[in-house]
Structure 1
Amino acid sequence: MGVTQWKAQFSSGPSEVYRALSTPLGRSRYWAEADERDGAIRFVLPDGRTDDSRIEHAVKDELYQLRYFGRTITFTLTPDESGGTDLALSCDDPDSRYDADHVALLLRLKAFVDFGVDLRNHDKSRTTDYADS
């Protein structure tokens, strides 16, 4: 199985980016309301899909990896020379139908962490086929 990777540069440092990835409050600001219990995140997406995503690896300010709807997604954080973060999101499923979802997730994360903006449309009738769902 191949791995696909996307990257984004954040002006915020690794601790701010990691906090947004690794805490229920952080994830609720750009991804989904998701309780965390016993090493798993209970995702409930706007279109009604749910998943108990097991956290596979978590290294503070460096790496966050989980099984998400049957795929392993890995966030790798690297501090840059100006105090920001280079973030790589990789997925072990090369199915290109998920590419837009991963890119949209990265951009929503960046908008929230660097600018305090929620890019989601919050419209339950516009979910799966919308980049801003």
Structure 2
Amino acid sequence: MSSTQWKVHFKSAPSEVYRAISTPLGRSRFWAESAKEADGVIHFVLPGDRTADAPIERAVKDHLYVIRLFGERISFALAQDEDRGTDLTFVHEGETDPTTWVSLLLRLKAHVDFGADLRNHDPTRTGNYLDGC
């Protein structure tokens, strides 16, 4: 199993980044059509009506969020910078092409820092989730 690490800086505080990745409303604004949570498992509804259940492995408010999605482990580690922004370290452990996750991180930054949704929401133009849609 391979491991890849990405780093992204946000002008927003760790609490805002954490809320986007750890709440159903936050995840639905940049990641999935919906991402409700029950009993420690996120039920993702992805483009093209695909679904996936992702157990939450660890959640430390405003600091760390780790899930297992499609059998692969992904983690978001957050640290406040000197200007009250956030340095996010994203680690993916699995066989999926690591560049797939760049799209997710760009959408997360666009949502949290700028209130923008970069997804097209057009099922005829949306690729496979693991192809970085």
Identity %: 59
Write out the 4+ residue segments of structure 1 that deviate beyond 4 Å after TM superposition. 129-132
* Letter of the 1:100 counterpart: T
1:12-65 deviations in whole A, cap 9, x for unaligned?
010000000100000111001111100000011103321110000000000000
The match for 1:26 is 26
The match for 1:101 is 100
Rounded to whole Å, the distance in 2 between the matches of 1:119 and 1:132 is 12
Q: Is the 2:20–2:27 Cα contact (8 Å) retained in structure 1? A: yes
Q: Is the 1:119–1:132 Cα contact (8 Å) retained in structure 2? A: no
How far has the Cα of 1:2 moved from its partner? Answer: 3.0
Rounded to whole Å, the distance in 1 between the matches of 2:12 and 2:118 is 18
The aligned length equals 131
Alignment CA distance shift 1:101-1:48 (3 Å): farther
Give unpaired runs (5+ residues) of structure 1. none
How far has the Cα of 1:96 moved from its partner? Answer: 5.2
- CA RMSD of superposed structures (Å): 1.7
The match for 2:14 is 14
Rounded to whole Å, the distance in 2 between the matches of 1:117 and 1:85 is 18
Give unpaired runs (5+ residues) of structure 2. none
How far has the Cα of 1:75 moved from its partner? Answer: 0.3
Rounded to whole Å, the distance in 2 between the matches of 1:127 and 1:13 is 31
